[in-house]
Structure 1
Amino acid sequence: MSNNRRPAYLPIAIIAVVIIAVAAAVIMWFKPDSSRIMPAQPVSNTLASEANSSQSTGLGDGQLVQTTVSQNQSPFVTGLERLPRSLKGTQIDGEIIIDENKQLLVTEGLRRLFDYFLSALGEENEAVIVARVESYIRHHTPEPAASQAVAIFNQYVAYLKALPEIEKRYGNLQLQATKSGELDLNAVTQQKRDVANLRQQYFDKPTITAFFGAGDDYDDYSIEMVRINQNTQMSDVQKQAARQDYVSRLPDSTTKTNIMQQANLGELMARTEQMKARGATPEALYNMRRELVGAPAAERLAQVDREDANFEQRFSQYETQKQRLLSQSADQAQAKIQINQLEQQLFDDTERKRLEGYAALQQQK
């Protein structure tokens, strides 16, 4: 079975997770008409951050890389020959989309395609990967879109080489701020400006939006959440209202939808814990969940509750009988055999693996 290879997405400014848990959302995209796509195998698309790319690829400092290679000089034809071990058995992550005039349409998926191949640097040297990417593009894409994609790849590699210098300038400031317990939002904001200025040196505005727009939206959201959280002049109620107001003013987009789902999930967890502590009925929990996440999800959560309650009941029975066996048996070896038999009687294989951790959790409570 094949696996998708996806570079991890770590937004430039998102060290905000030190203070607020911001779940990474998956940005859904739809496959365009196959007559306009080259290649026709787009796959799911966790965004790869430029920061992670610059570190994982190990690209050295330098000017714009000239990757144009004559087809008869290149060691590749399709770009997929002799793939490195980390890419073998994976689907290509990304897309090349062209219009009816065979002009390139720059998308976030094009950047994913670049990151897919660049993630293998270390197994392959830079020159090999550069040749591989250009061969792949030219084999799967007509002109002039092919040359346009190759040119953007050149710019992207050069950008990745320049990016670590900005990271070095701000790394210590961020570390100090984190150790002090609060994020230095001024430093984070300035870093974002420097990164934005760097992008303008290598890309036009449409490419910047396509490659980095979604990540920037999440950065801005996370920074604002931290800004609200660090505001000592606001009460918890005021902070919650400010968070909701910020999200409500976001333009309609997939990013906003994911952020709202994330916010609903946080509220769902908090309200579930509060209601269970007050002894809420299953019906009350279901109604609250249905309001926040819809009926199907509410039903699934109710089923999880039933399964957890059943496990807890069996665990309580197990602990009672286990303690009785240990206290009453003179032969501890025999007692352990009986306890093992009890475990097999009350729990399946998966549940037995949870017993030790669940017991430790119960002791903490």
Structure 2
Amino acid sequence: MSQHRFSSFSPIIIAGIVVLIVAIIWWFKPVNESKAVSQPLDNQASADVIEVVNAHNDINKKFKPNTVKFATGLEDLPRSLQGTDVDGEIIIDENKQLIVTEGLRRLFDYFLSALGEEEENTIYARVESYIRSHTPNPAASQAVAIFDQYIAYLKAVPEIEKKYGTLQLQATQSGELDLSIVAQQKQDIARLRQQHFHKNTISAFFGAEDEYNDYSMEMVRISQNSQLSEAQKDAAKQDYISRMPDNMTKTNLVQQANLNELMTRTEQMQAKGATPEALYNMRRELVGAPAAARLAQIDQADASFDERFNQYQAQKQQLLKQSVNPSLAPSQVQIQINRIEQQLFNEAERKRLTGYAALQQQKAADMN
């Protein structure tokens, strides 16, 4: 789906802590492929939502003029959403009560990502029409009420981000992140969420995100601990992950850590001239036998490409030297170069040649 973010609702739905931490340790943030556990509304949550539903019409009158009409919310989609599938989900129970999930938040974000292409009232009408055309009541009204809460939350987040962003810039003189400021910002964001959402909604909407943020903060804390050696830091990071609850967040982090270690150890072993068997055994230990076998095949393909590329470069340089001969027209030289390319590489590989040659030149320059 499109990844535009919005200006008048909020620069981004994720609290400023994510921006600050991810800028330091970008790789710690795996691609979000997890699904939050469904959070059914308990009795108190249902009562809270009903109160919001009862006030929904009054909120609408104050929030935006309801001048745009849709049947399903999918008519005349903005360009960024055209050709995409609607992200997210609306889940209900056997009594047609809403079950709040992280997917509901993703549904809101899908439509809100078009802000800038469409006005607020248009997006609001889209979301409400989509919900009501796909969901029976009372779940539909409950979902719309939570959308109202979500909008109010997004409008309040930038003030906190601005406050703590300024404090962080003032406090960070040594190039390290001031975790005390990050922790205070996190507390303010938590209080803001409590003002707008029931605890079930907070858990469903932000639970996985908070786990990643806690993990990222701890990784920064460990990295900034000058009393620890590099080996001790690695051990502390692994220990933190091992103590996390067994869920999709932990699974993603373990996989990411294994991939990072895999790349590091592969580079080190290849630099020392490790045999294919040694590389396979190391990879099998980290990522399993099937993945290790696929990586071995990639190694073989890369080695074959390198060998043919070196052959191609040698023949190409020889032809270019001959081009200084007036009897050999430049067009004839290019024809012969093209013929060599076709002999040595398939169509997909030929598309790589220019970029690969530039990469090899950059590596050679870095070594010098």
Give TM-score, length-normalised by structure 2. 0.81
Describe the SS at the equivalent of 1:152. helix
The equivalent position to 1:279 in structure 2, one of 273, 277, 296, is: 273
Matched, 1:25 2:31: yes
Give TM-score, length-normalised by structure 1. 0.82
Residue matched to 1:212:
206
1:134-186 superposed Cα distances (whole Å, 9 cap, x missing partner) = 22222222221111111111100011111111111122344567784322222
Residue matched to 1:198:
192
Counterparts of 2:209 and 2:349, CA distance in 1: 39
Paired residues, number: 331
Residue matched to 1:165:
159
Structure number having the greater helix percentage:
2
Residue matched to 1:67:
60
AA aligned to 1:280 is A
Residue matched to 1:117:
111
Counterparts of 2:118 and 2:260, CA distance in 1: 42
Counterparts of 2:74 and 2:320, CA distance in 1: 62
The equivalent position to 2:343 in structure 1, one of 333, 345, 352, is: 345
1:281-307 superposed Cα distances (whole Å, 9 cap, x missing partner) = 111111111111111111111111011
Counterparts of 1:234 and 1:264, CA distance in 2: 22
Does the CA-based 8 Å contact 2:36-2:207 persist in structure 1?
A: no
Counterparts of 2:58 and 2:161, CA distance in 1: 21
Describe the SS at the equivalent of 1:105. strand
1:249-304 superposed Cα distances (whole Å, 9 cap, x missing partner) = 00111000000000000111111111111111111111111111111111111111
The equivalent position to 1:12 in structure 2, one of 10, 16, 27, is: 16
* Mean CA deviation greater in 220-229 or 346-355: 346-355
Describe the SS at the equivalent of 1:13. helix
Counterparts of 1:154 and 1:282, CA distance in 2: 58
| Counterpart mapping for 1:1-365 below 5 A | 4-5=1-2, 12-14=16-18, 15-20=20-25, 21-29=27-35, 66-67=59-60, 75-175=69-169, 180-331=174-325, 333=330, 334-363=332-361, 364-365=363-364
Counterparts of 2:118 and 2:4, CA distance in 1: 16
* Mean CA deviation greater in 209-218 or 5-14: 5-14
Counterparts of 1:269 and 1:87, CA distance in 2: 36
Residue matched to 1:47:
none
Q: Flag the 1:106–1:230 CA change in 2: closer, same or farther, 3 A.
A: same
1:52-96 superposed Cα distances (whole Å, 9 cap, x missing partner) = xxxxxxxxxxxx982389xx9861222223322322222111111
| 1:28 Cα offset (Å) | 3.1
- Point out where structure 2 has 5 or more consecutive residues left out of the alignment: 6-12, 41-56
Does the CA-based 8 Å contact 1:65-1:158 persist in structure 2?
A: no
Describe the SS at the equivalent of 1:90. coil
Does the CA-based 8 Å contact 1:170-1:191 persist in structure 2?
A: yes
Does the CA-based 8 Å contact 1:163-1:195 persist in structure 2?
A: yes
Does the CA-based 8 Å contact 1:74-1:135 persist in structure 2?
A: no
Q: Flag the 1:176–1:299 CA change in 2: closer, same or farther, 3 A.
A: farther
Describe the SS at the equivalent of 2:177. coil
| 1:314 Cα offset (Å) | 0.6
- Point out where structure 1 has 5 or more consecutive residues left out of the alignment: 37-63
Q: Flag the 1:67–1:117 CA change in 2: closer, same or farther, 3 A.
A: farther
Counterparts of 1:112 and 1:187, CA distance in 2: 28
Counterparts of 1:326 and 1:85, CA distance in 2: 47
Does the CA-based 8 Å contact 2:37-2:101 persist in structure 1?
A: no
AA aligned to 1:353 is K
Q: Flag the 1:86–1:17 CA change in 2: closer, same or farther, 3 A.
A: closer
AA aligned to 1:279 is G
Counterparts of 2:219 and 2:90, CA distance in 1: 35
Q: Flag the 1:24–1:130 CA change in 2: closer, same or farther, 3 A.
A: same
AA aligned to 1:239 is K
Does the CA-based 8 Å contact 1:7-1:115 persist in structure 2?
A: no
Q: Flag the 1:273–1:179 CA change in 2: closer, same or farther, 3 A.
A: farther
| 1:23 Cα offset (Å) | 4.0
Residue matched to 2:48:
none
AA aligned to 2:339 is Q
